[in-house]
Structure 1
């Protein structure tokens, strides 16, 4: 009877280890997906911010060029 108890316990432990491994693999997979989606979100956000920055810089350059053209006055002749 003790032998059967040991065998049942060993089978239960094996089943438990398999269940733990399956759960770790599932957690690992979901963690990797979460990590990769975070990286993708960061790339998209960075690209969007870069576009906004470049647009603003171009707008500022136009405004500066326009302002410089207005400020230039012909030198008085004399």
Structure 2
């Protein structure tokens, strides 16, 4: 499966400038973005570890939302 992505001509040219002779545009983008591809990472974590990581991420997201709401309320109260 593949997806199309719209890029401005300027941005496409910037990516193309980093494109190596043996690379597709996807290869170039993966290299520029860095980190392992999801395919290469599959199976590294146990289901238990992955679940724990998901819970930690969710808790952090909830905390951030609560902090943002408290800050918004404080800013409203100050004005």
TM-score norm. by structure 1 comes to 0.44
Q: Which has the higher contact order (CA 8 A, sep 6+)?
A: 2
Which of the pair is proportionally richer in helix? 1
* Greater C-alpha Rg: 1
